[in-house]
Chain A
Amino acid sequence: MPTDPIIRVEHFTAGYEDNVLMRDINFTVNRGEVFVILGGSGCGKSTLMKHMIGLYEPMAGAVYIDGDDIVTAEGDARRAILKKIGVMYQSGALFGSMTLLENIRLPLEEYTSLDDEEIDLIAQMKLKLVGLDAFSGHMPSEISGGMQKRAAIARAMALDPTILFLDEPSAGLDPITSAELDLLIIRLARSLHITFVIVTHELASIYTVADRVIMLDKRIKGIIAEGDPKVLRDTSDNPWVRQFFCREATPDTIAEAA
């Protein structure tokens, strides 16, 4: 894949108060790539993602989205960056007082000048993409957790953003839906060159979708591995990385995890 960085994370340090989660990390995400952030529980994967979408301010460093630093951008400049990204949160974060269709309509109503019927069709098609077209009139509370997650992906895609951030997309989904979601990700990445940044633990999903992964580790407060997941699994010298990919737990790792 040709390198054409769409996200650059540079000299990035983040954490909460005195607790530094990651120190001086650097990586890039290429355009059209499916990029996965991996790591054990509590290593700061979701935190890193929330910094990349501008929700949190890092202690130091910069996050360039398509050339613009989201950390320092304000006002219209920030809105312009945010229009390029779509985010699916771990819990779905659908608006509980709106139907699924209204959830997806919201960004389209706010950002485009399309009329009602056109917006309806786009929203309906997004729901179709995630297999929820029959539930467009349902409230989020009336559907299952997995369905909420898929609806959240549909909402994140409402404006066809250049970059989609997905936080644990397959957690809580059945294997078939999860596999379908993987196919959807691959299809969108290949046909529309949407860049995906995914935080996940699902190894099966990682091998299917990921072009490149980075693996965070709380012991070194940084990146311990970067590259193609299959290559890392087969060739990495790092025992932690191999254990992760082989789903092994040793007495040492159990003790450390505890």
Chain B
Amino acid sequence: MSTAAAARTASPPAASLSLSEVEGRREMRLAGRLDAYSISGVWPDARAALDSAPDRPVLVEASRVEYCDGAGVAMLVDLLRQPRPPAAQVVVVGLKPQFKTLLDQFDPVALRAPPREHEERLHTVAEIGRAALITGRDMRTQVAFIGETSAALWFAVTHPHRIRWKDVWYTCEQVGVNALPIVALISFLLGIILAFQSAVPMKQFGAEIFVADLVGLSILRELGPLMTAILLAGRSGAAFAAEIGTMKVNEELNALTTMGLDPVRFLVVTRIIAAVLMMPLLCIFADLVGILGGALTMISFNIPIGAFLREVDSLVDIKDLLAGLAKAPVFAILIAGIGCLRGLQTQTGASAVGISATRAVVSSIILLVVVDGIYAFIYYLLDI
């Protein structure tokens, strides 16, 4: 068995360092085992010993080093790489041949620590310019994406037999059916909270019955579609971005492109169609469950379900339902489109997929609120 192997099995003593002065020269005697776990005890001392003799030659005597792995060699290189005058060089002697081979692989001068670079701060104007450039590029890709998607959607409308319906139905299940429980839960709670919060002050004026109008109008026109859209953005928008992002990282998108298949037609169109089909249905479902939540709450205020529904029916008409539902397809296109866009924009690496999913949800929610505001303004102008 060689020395190194024998040393390993016999578990040699930890690293040790002793210093002496011989004929105007500093001598460092290293002994024991020099590995990543043991050298932390001697490395700083060795450096200090070197630094305290800046103008004297230093001899590192290493014949009693029993084992020296990459970390040990790193320490020796560290001693050798320090810039010193020619009369005060560091020399390592006595290192066993098998360890010396390792040390000889490295040129200590090449491994000198580079001077700390100070990252140059950009001028404010330059920073604004750079940010504008990035935003500009981002907007350009978005416009290009909107164009590509519109073209692909138009192609799908004019060639419905070319749509991959199997993928569409599968996505419908993911986006629609599987979202039912969470949509039900949130809308139900929303109905309860809305009814309860408004019933308490209204009771002071004996106007509890009008809670039905409040709940009915706000859920049908505003909260039903918006909450469903936010849930869809969180569930499906993020899922689209992650799914397409992972495909991009795995080069599946490149594979599609080289097969002559357009990723937008193949992946984006099917998802947008599925979302557009499912979103209105989810909205109606959310409206119903929300109103039910409100109605059940009002029982505790002595308003029976029948009275509640009659009151809703007297003030809320089909126009309100349609005003809410009209938002659904637009919200669906927004959510699915942004989810897919963020997926297609994914960079490489595992974290890139996470970033895409986050961006998909954040941009969707911001745009949802903006578009909802635009709807409110249009409805106001049209007196709907």
Measured CB to CB, the residues of A under 8 A from B are 2, 4, 31-32, 96-97, 108, 111-115, 117-118, 120-122, 124-126, 128-129, 139-141, 157-160, 162, 187, 190-193
Interface size counted on chain B using CB atoms at 8 A = 34
User: Does A129 contact B105, Cβ atoms closer than 8 Å?
Assistant: yes
Q: Is B106 an interface residue (CB 8 A)?
A: yes
Assuming the contacts A2-B1, A31-B5, A139-B349, asked whether A192 and B69 have C-beta atoms less than 8 A apart, the reply is yes
Assuming the contacts A160-B69, A191-B98, asked whether A108 and B111 have C-beta atoms less than 8 A apart, the reply is no
User: Does B5 contact A113, Cβ atoms closer than 8 Å?
Assistant: no
- B199 nearest CB across to chain A (Å): 50
What are 30 A-B pairs with beta-carbon distances under 8 A? Answer: A2-B1, A4-B5, A31-B5, A31-B8, A32-B5, A96-B349, A96-B351, A112-B36, A112-B37, A112-B40, A114-B39, A114-B40, A114-B43, A115-B40, A118-B43, A120-B113, A122-B70, A122-B74, A128-B106, A128-B111, A129-B105, A141-B349, A157-B70, A160-B71, A162-B8, A187-B101, A190-B98, A192-B4, A192-B69, A192-B98
User: Does B348 contact A141, Cβ atoms closer than 8 Å?
Assistant: yes
Assuming the contacts A114-B36, A117-B113, A160-B36, asked whether A122 and B71 have C-beta atoms less than 8 A apart, the reply is yes
For A117, give the chain B residue with the smallest CB separation. B113
User: Which residues 77-95 of B sit at the A interface, judged by CB distance below 8 A?
Assistant: 77-78
Known: A122-B36, A193-B5. 10 other contacts (CB 8 A): A31-B5, A114-B39, A114-B43, A120-B113, A125-B74, A126-B70, A128-B106, A141-B348, A187-B101, A191-B98
Enumerate chain B residues within 8 angstroms of A2, measured Cβ to Cβ: 1
User: Which residues 238-289 of B sit at the A interface, judged by CB distance below 8 A?
Assistant: none
User: Does B101 contact A115, Cβ atoms closer than 8 Å?
Assistant: no
Could you say which of A125, A159, A187, A193 contacts B73, with CB atoms under 8 Å apart?
A125
Q: Is B13 an interface residue (CB 8 A)?
A: no
Enumerate chain B residues within 8 angstroms of A193, measured Cβ to Cβ: 2, 4-5, 8
Measured CB to CB, the residues of B under 8 A from A are 1-2, 4-5, 8, 35-37, 39-40, 43-44, 69-71, 73-75, 77-78, 98-99, 101-102, 105-106, 111, 113, 347-352
User: Does A125 contact B5, Cβ atoms closer than 8 Å?
Assistant: no
User: Does B101 contact A108, Cβ atoms closer than 8 Å?
Assistant: no
User: Which 8 interchain pairs have the tightest Cβ spacing?
Assistant: A96-B349, A160-B69, A141-B348, A122-B74, A191-B98, A97-B351, A113-B40, A96-B350
Assuming the contacts A115-B44, A118-B75, A125-B111, asked whether A191 and B70 have C-beta atoms less than 8 A apart, the reply is no
User: Does B78 contact A121, Cβ atoms closer than 8 Å?
Assistant: yes
Enumerate chain B residues within 8 angstroms of A121, measured Cβ to Cβ: 74, 77-78, 111, 113
User: Does B36 contact A159, Cβ atoms closer than 8 Å?
Assistant: yes
A117 to B40, CA, bound (A): 12
A82 to B35, CA, bound (A): 16
A191 to B78, CA, bound (A): 20
- A130 nearest CB across to chain B (Å): 11
User: Does B78 contact A118, Cβ atoms closer than 8 Å?
Assistant: yes
- B245 nearest CB across to chain A (Å): 13
Enumerate chain A residues within 8 angstroms of B105, measured Cβ to Cβ: 128-129, 187
A227 to B43, CA, bound (A): 43
For A120, give the chain B residue with the smallest CB separation. B113
- B62 nearest CB across to chain A (Å): 15
A125 to B107, CA, bound (A): 10
Enumerate chain A residues within 8 angstroms of B35, measured Cβ to Cβ: 160
- A196 nearest CB across to chain B (Å): 14
Enumerate chain B residues within 8 angstroms of A190, measured Cβ to Cβ: 98
A112 to B74, CA, bound (A): 14
A105 to B25, CA, bound (A): 35
A188 to B39, CA, bound (A): 20
Enumerate chain A residues within 8 angstroms of B111, measured Cβ to Cβ: 121, 124-125, 128
User: Does B102 contact A192, Cβ atoms closer than 8 Å?
Assistant: yes
A157 to B35, CA, bound (A): 12
User: Does B77 contact A125, Cβ atoms closer than 8 Å?
Assistant: yes
User: Does B5 contact A141, Cβ atoms closer than 8 Å?
Assistant: no
- B116 nearest CB across to chain A (Å): 11
Enumerate chain B residues within 8 angstroms of A108, measured Cβ to Cβ: 36
User: Does A191 contact B102, Cβ atoms closer than 8 Å?
Assistant: yes
For B102, give the chain A residue with the smallest CB separation. A191
- A86 nearest CB across to chain B (Å): 11
- B354 nearest CB across to chain A (Å): 9
Could you say which of B1, B74, B350 contacts A97, with CB atoms under 8 Å apart?
B350
For B1, give the chain A residue with the smallest CB separation. A2
Enumerate chain A residues within 8 angstroms of B2, measured Cβ to Cβ: 32, 193
For B73, give the chain A residue with the smallest CB separation. A125
A190 to B106, CA, bound (A): 18
For B347, give the chain A residue with the smallest CB separation. A141
User: Does A96 contact B40, Cβ atoms closer than 8 Å?
Assistant: no
- A14 nearest CB across to chain B (Å): 28
Enumerate chain B residues within 8 angstroms of A158, measured Cβ to Cβ: 36
- B47 nearest CB across to chain A (Å): 9
Enumerate chain B residues within 8 angstroms of A124, measured Cβ to Cβ: 111
For B99, give the chain A residue with the smallest CB separation. A191
